[in-house]
Amino acid sequence: MGEENKTTPQVRFCTSCGAKLKESAAFCAKCGAKVGGSAVRQETGNTRSVKTEPVKTTSGSVNGNNVQKKKGKGPLTAVIIIISIIFVAIVVAGAFAVLNYETILEKFGFQQKNEHFIDDDDEDEDEKEDKKDTKESEDASSEEVASYESEDITDSTEGSFAEDAGPLKESDIDEEKLSMLFDIAAHDPEGMTRKKDNYQWSFFCYAAGYKDYIEKYYDLAPESESWMTVFSVEDAENFILNSIGSDDLSEIEDRYEGDYCYIKGGKLYAMTPDTGDSWDQTAVVIDHEITSDGKLKVTGYHEEGAFTESHHHILEAIFVKNPESIWSGLTLESIEELDDEHYLLPEAQYKNYTRDEVDFTPEMARYARNEIYARHGRRFKDQELQMYFDQQSWYEGTEDEVPETELNEYEKNNIKLMAEIEQEQNN
């Protein structure tokens, strides 16, 4: 028997869940999905074939036609993503709290430029205020230093001129002007060196002894009181600064009119004090030399007294070069009195002694004669002499012989006198 051909109705399946659809169904009875024109046809054509059930593959396709099955995962996926984002945010926030901020910047390739980050939580209000005050103080100090460094040397309270003006040369020295400044400083060595007590008063009073020279240099108009030297305060500050290295006039400002030195109406008045029954000789420069560091060392003396009593002061002064000074371009750095307590002939370097002034035994005359050599550093073979001079605070034995060329005429004359006393008394 031949096979009878019959027209077979179309068989459709849901594209969402794969269920078999009724022939005229508009919606899937299983999942409710709307049935469109793209429903899968399992049997088509006019040839009847064996009816089979749809077979699901592991990939969700029906009979190998790659029909994907959609599952309801949308809401669950969104929840998982949100939880993941929150977790990552918590981890990052924890890292910022634990790790140093600057370290994180370095790890990500960022660099700070001229900034310093401070966590305000690390400081209380008092600490912040203290730091603010300290910074303001430091800024003010920096401004003062910068201002001082930019000022001209004549505005400084203490001048150091040696480095600015260079080393001294012998040709720089005017001995007359040097003697004037040495004489002024000799009246108050300690005050003018240490800038203490009434050194300003002493300076202007004794500088008034050279009134004519000062007035000519500063072009000062003579006042009605011809014995007074009168400066403008500005000239007075310039004068004392470039003479002894300080422009402080505060001590004189407190003095009354009629004193030997006072300030009134923007002018400084000064005159040499009346010493009454005492007497005061002009200081004398004995010798000077330029030191290895380019300064001038001066040795001299100053004598003063009253009635029959006199005081002799041996002085050593150091001067530095300063072109602004009226004293041959010299400014006093220091002046001090040397100890002459243990000298038998304290003035041997600048005075010819006479027989009337000394009353030595032959032995004392011997010590006095050798004292002149000892002051030049002579060492002695005679143990008794060496022991004696070793006990003197001023002695420094460094030379086996002292050439005659190192002795000045005063020293040679005094050596001769002491030798004569030794010889006469021995005879």
Q: Does 233 fall in a domain?
A: yes
For residue 384, the domain's CATH number is 1.20.58.1690
Q: Does 157 fall in a domain?
A: no
pLDDT at 202: 93
**Domain boundary residue, one of 44, 71, 98:** 71
Per-residue model confidence as pLDDT tens digits over 184-217: 999 999 888 888 888 999 999 999 999 989 988 8
Q: Does 205 fall in a domain?
A: yes
Q: Provide the 8-state DSSP code for 65.
A: S
What is d(CA 22, CA 49) in angstroms, rounded to the nearest whole number?
19
Q: Does 86 fall in a domain?
A: no
In this structure, the answer to whether residues 232 and 376 fall within a common structural domain is: no
Q: Which residue has the tokens 């400081």?
A: 123
In this structure, the answer to whether residues 259 and 199 fall within a common structural domain is: yes
- One-letter amino acid for residue 330 of the chain: L
Name the nearest CA neighbour of 49 among 8, 12, 19.
8
In this structure, the answer to whether residues 244 and 324 fall within a common structural domain is: yes
In this structure, the answer to whether residues 302 and 390 fall within a common structural domain is: no
Which residues neighbour 126 within 8 Å (Cβ) at sequence distance 6 or greater?
A: none
**Domain boundary residue, one of 337, 371, 400:** 337
Q: Does 388 fall in a domain?
A: yes
In this structure, the answer to whether residues 318 and 389 fall within a common structural domain is: no
Q: Which domain holds residue 186?
A: 162-337
How, if at all, do strands 12-13 and 229-232 pair? unpaired
Q: What is the mean pLDDT of residues 299-318?
A: 79
Long-range CB contacts for residues 27-35, cutoff 8 Å, separation at least 24: none
Predicted TM-score (pTM) of the model is 0.48
What is d(CA 183, CA 188) in angstroms, rounded to the nearest whole number?
10
Residue 109 has pLDDT above 80, yes or no: no
pLDDT at 403: 92
Q: Mean pLDDT in the chain?
A: 74
In this structure, the answer to whether residues 236 and 331 fall within a common structural domain is: yes
Which residues neighbour 348 within 8 Å (Cβ) at sequence distance 6 or greater?
A: 371, 372, 375, 410, 411, 414
In this structure, the answer to whether residues 367 and 333 fall within a common structural domain is: no
Phi, psi (degrees; rounded to nearest 5) at 222: -60, 135
**Domain boundary residue, one of 337, 372, 388:** 337
DSSP calls for 377-389: TB--SSHHHHHHH
pLDDT at 95: 62
Q: Which residue has the tokens 């004489």?
A: 183
Look at phi and psi of residue 294 and say left if phi exceeds 0, alpha if psi is from -120 to 50, else beta: left
In this structure, the answer to whether residues 63 and 27 fall within a common structural domain is: yes
Asked which of 111-125, 130-144, 330-344 is least confident by mean pLDDT, the reply is: 111-125
Q: Does 183 fall in a domain?
A: yes
The SS3 assignment for 330 reads strand
Q: Please give the distance of CA 339 from its chain centroid, rounded to a whole number.
A: 37
DSSP calls for 234-285: HHHHHHHHHHHS----HHHHTSPTTSSEEEETTEEEE-----TTEEEPPPEE
Q: Does 404 fall in a domain?
A: yes
Helix or strand holding residue 40 (H, E): strand 40-41
What is d(CA 159, CA 153) in angstroms, rounded to the nearest whole number?
7
In this structure, the answer to whether residues 282 and 321 fall within a common structural domain is: yes
Q: What is the mean pLDDT of residues 312-316?
A: 81
In this structure, the answer to whether residues 192 and 308 fall within a common structural domain is: yes
What is d(CA 403, CA 373) in angstroms, rounded to the nearest whole number?
10
In this structure, the answer to whether residues 329 and 368 fall within a common structural domain is: no
pLDDT at 223: 63
Name the nearest CA neighbour of 247 among 257, 237, 255, 256.
237
pLDDT at 99: 55
Q: Which residue has the tokens 């500088």?
A: 207
Domain count, the chain: 3
Number of residues that this document lists for the chain: 427
Q: Does 119 fall in a domain?
A: no
In this structure, the answer to whether residues 278 and 183 fall within a common structural domain is: yes
Q: Strand pairing partners for 331?
A: 320
